[in-house]
Each structure stands twice: as structure tokens, then as C-alpha cells.
Amino acid sequence: MSEYSKQEVEATHERYLAFRGEIETGAKPWSALADFFTDDATFIDPAWGRIEGIEAIREFLDLSMRGLEGWTFPQEACLVDNDVVITRWKNRLPGQRADGSYYEATGCSTLYYAGEGKFRYEEDVLNMVHVYELMKESGWKPGPGIAPLPKTIRR
């Protein structure tokens, strides 16, 4: 049993999603999302690997999202069980196909709530090959400032 109420965990996740929506519009920088994490949090990304500590997460969010302007991440489903949040979302590239469908790949995130409106852990899982195929199919090109992956990736 969690020491946190389901309502508290859900409300924090809803604020997290709303804040991320503001970031997607360009109103706030991606690095600001780190404010939803504890100082000792861990973030695991399928491309960038394991990032530990809030300042490293802040830097990762800034670097990893540079050049991806116009990408959005609409949520499809969410499950909250005790202090765990599991979500299914779309990794949606800008533009649409001639038939009106989006260039998108599904992803899943697992977050662990730590209280006081913060998460202590996030792990994102998605098929990176599918994302690369969508980039090619859509003709997407990165925006200015895109950062290369780190030379050493911790898994």
C-alpha cells in the first residue's frame, strides 16, 4: 500500500502532462520539466540511457529535445496503482500523411511518485527503429541545435 493517495498521484501526473503540453507549444523549455523530479531522481531514456540526479536530468531534457520542435506526445491511457504511474502515449512527428494519419509511434512510461508533487523515477520505452523509420518516411529533418547522443550511454 502506498503512503500517497491515488488522487495525489493522479493530480501530480495531470499537472506534469499539462506542463509538458506548455513545453510542446514552446511556452517553456524542456529543462523546466525537471522540476517534477526529486533531486536524486533517475530518468531512463531508450536513446540516451540512464540519467541520475536532477541537474543531469535537466541537462538531458534540454539536450535530447533540441531540434525536435513540433513533436508532440499525446497520452492514450494511464494507470495509477499506489505510487506507480504507467502511461501509453504517442511519439508524434510534425505533419501528416496524405490520408490524414499521423507519423507516430507508441511509447510507454513508468513513473514512481515520491510525494510533494515530484517523481523519483521515470523510464520511457519505445521502439526507436520505428521512430527512425517514421523520420525517413515523413522526410523530417532536425531543427537547429540538435545534440548528438552521448559517446558513452549508461544502461
CA end-to-end distance (rounded Å), the chain: 29
Asked if the structure places residue 14 within a domain, the reply is: yes
37-45 and 118-126 beta bridge pairing: parallel
Residue range 89-112, pLDDT digits in tens: 999 999 999 999 999 999 999 999
The yes-or-no verdict on residue 73 having pLDDT over 80 is yes
Q: Please give the pLDDT value at position 74.
A: 97
Tell me what the pLDDT averaged over the chain comes to: 96
Q: Please give the pLDDT value at position 2.
A: 74
**Containing structural domain, residue 22:** 6-138
Asked if the structure places residue 154 within a domain, the reply is: no
Asked if the structure places residue 152 within a domain, the reply is: no
Asked if the structure places residue 149 within a domain, the reply is: no
Asked if the structure places residue 147 within a domain, the reply is: no
pTM, full prediction: 0.94
Q: Shortest CA distance to 4 belongs to which of 121, 59, 85?
A: 85
Asked if the structure places residue 145 within a domain, the reply is: no
Total tally of structural domains belonging to the chain: 1
Domain containing residue 25: CATH number: 3.10.450.50
